[in-house]
Amino acid sequence: MANRVITYSEAVREAIAQAMEADSNVFMLGEDIGIYGGAFGVSGDLYHRFGAERIRDTPISELGIVGAAVGAALVGMRPIVEIQFSDFTSQAMDQIVNQAAKIHFMLGGELSVPMVLRAPSGSGTGAAAQHSQSLETWFAHIPGLKVVLPSNPRDAKGLLLAAIDDPNPVIVLEHKLLYKTSGPVPEEPFRTPIGVADLVREGKDLVIVATGVMVSRSIAAADQLKEQGIKATIIDPRTLSPLDMSLINDAIAASGRVMLVQEAPKHVGFMAEVAARIAEGPALYSLLAPVKRICGMDIPIPYAPQLEKAAVPQIEDIIAGAVALMREP
């Protein structure tokens, strides 16, 4: 069944089900995840399979939801929190940043918080400024949090199962536009290691480092660039914290050119951190041109479809960036 094809949302749901079947301490909590099946339909039939005690519908209080999960994790449970939109984590930042991320350190390692927080992220659904943000840099900045951005169904399952196993809090950001995409996913439980980047494809001319939905857009762009004689390596970090730079550095050493692609705004975005690590490391001496960033505009996400599309990188923007980078002396 290694070549079985399912959707991203089915892969997430399967991971949760397999984790719950294997460990009675795993449970899920969030708004409308029960009979309704989740805001994006991810929890689906889990309520009917596992019951109200383990698929717990909550009041509309993100602070309370995450606080309950932190408390449950501290006494040995393994909660999976679903926040309807990643934007709403702003209501729970005290519990995420000041409690979940710090308790293990502040108590000298005596207690851990094995909590997973999942949230739909990104733009493209016409949900406007308060429901369409890419906030991964917020979480990646906080010591004590691990942050993963699965870009395909296989990693959606493997990274989530690894996150559930982890003794530390893990933030899993799932791009809304990826939920209906399909790909091969093994049926058996498997883990994708947290902190290991993925070499999506190899090319000799430049390196594209992309996250989330920008990985599939970079693949589409690379297909068109190949027709112009430009062959691109694509790397998906998969995990922002911890960040695997070894694969990126090796690829830059081979090609000399690198382009960093993210949906989030450019200013203080995560790709600025990647660029800084390139500048501080051995890859700097392999560069034939300055590091190029293709990012979202520094504006709130608009509601109007044409403006929403213009606010974040599209396939044509990645192509144009790559062509310009290849022209650099």
pLDDT digits (tens, 9 = 90+) for 153-176: 999 999 999 999 999 999 999 999
Q: Give yes or no for residue 325 having a pLDDT over 90.
A: yes
Considering the chain, what percentage of its residues have pLDDT values greater than 90? Answer: 98
Q: Give yes or no for residue 200 having a pLDDT over 80.
A: yes
Considering the chain, what percentage of its residues have pLDDT values greater than 70? Answer: 99
Which tens digits make up the pLDDT trace of 222-263?
999 999 999 999 999 999 999 999 999 999 999 999 999 999
Look-up: residue for tokens 């979940």? 100
Distances (CA, A) of 101 to 65, 167, 265: 16, 11, 25
Predicted confidence band of residue 1 (pLDDT cuts 50, 70, 90): low
- Write down the number of H helices and E strands in the chain: 12, 14
pLDDT top residue among 329 and 207: 207
Helix, strand or coil, per DSSP, at residue 182: strand
- Are 205 and 199 in contact by the 8 Å Cβ rule? The answer is no
pLDDT at residue number 265: 98
pLDDT at residue number 310: 97
Domain 198-327 has what CATH class? Answer: alpha beta
**How do the domains of the chain map onto residue ranges?**
5-184, 198-327
Q: What is the mean pLDDT of the chain?
A: 97
pLDDT at residue number 240: 98
Helix, strand or coil, per DSSP, at residue 251: helix
DSSP letter (8 states) at residue 98 = I
Predicted confidence band of residue 2 (pLDDT cuts 50, 70, 90): low
pLDDT at residue number 36: 94
Predicted confidence band of residue 96 (pLDDT cuts 50, 70, 90): very high
Q: Which residues are catalytic?
A: 62, 131
Q: Give yes or no for residue 46 having a pLDDT over 70.
A: yes
CA neighbor of 106 nearest in space, from 132, 82, 130, 70: 70
Cβ-count burial 11-31 (b if 16+ within 10 Å, e if not): bbbbbbbbbbeeeebbbbbbb
Tell me if domain 5-184 and domain 198-327 are identical in fold: yes
CATH 3.40.50.970 fits 5-184, yes or no: yes
Predicted confidence band of residue 329 (pLDDT cuts 50, 70, 90): confident
pLDDT at residue number 11: 98
Q: Give yes or no for residue 221 having a pLDDT over 70.
A: yes
pLDDT at residue number 328: 87
